[in-house]
Structure 1
Amino acid sequence: MSEPIELSRIKVYQKDTPNKIREAYIQGFDEPFFFGVHGGVRAFYGVETEVEYPSTLDHIVAAAGG
């Protein structure tokens, strides 16, 4: 079996529990990535947010389509 070519080292912090905001730090990048809720996802969870961020699912779909 060959050795892995890349290991993802990521730390995720829950920033704002009621608003579902998470902040992810990925090794090799200076700025964090933010995950949260928007549109229909906000309505589903019944939360109001000051800022809308892409959901985790949005990032997964973008990565799969990339």
Structure 2
Amino acid sequence: MNQPEWRKSTRSDNAGNCVEVAGNLPGVVLVRDSKDPSGPALAFTPDAWRSLVAHLHRAPLD
């Protein structure tokens, strides 16, 4: 079985507010808090992940 290959978001800042994504596993995209790598991860279908990312790109920043 493949191990997740985690990569840090390009939107992460230097203050430790980081999200990591693993998209190398078949049929699932995993997301976790990089400050807690052994903690829980969210699991999305690839379609749901693409939809979430598209929505976030359209959302205004506060």
**Is the TM-score greater than 0.5?**
no
TM-score range, shorter chain: 0.3 to 0.5
Instruction: Name the structure where helix makes up a greater proportion of residues.
Output: 1
TM-score (norm 1): 0.34
**Computing the radius of gyration over CA atoms, which structure comes out larger, 1 or 2?**
1
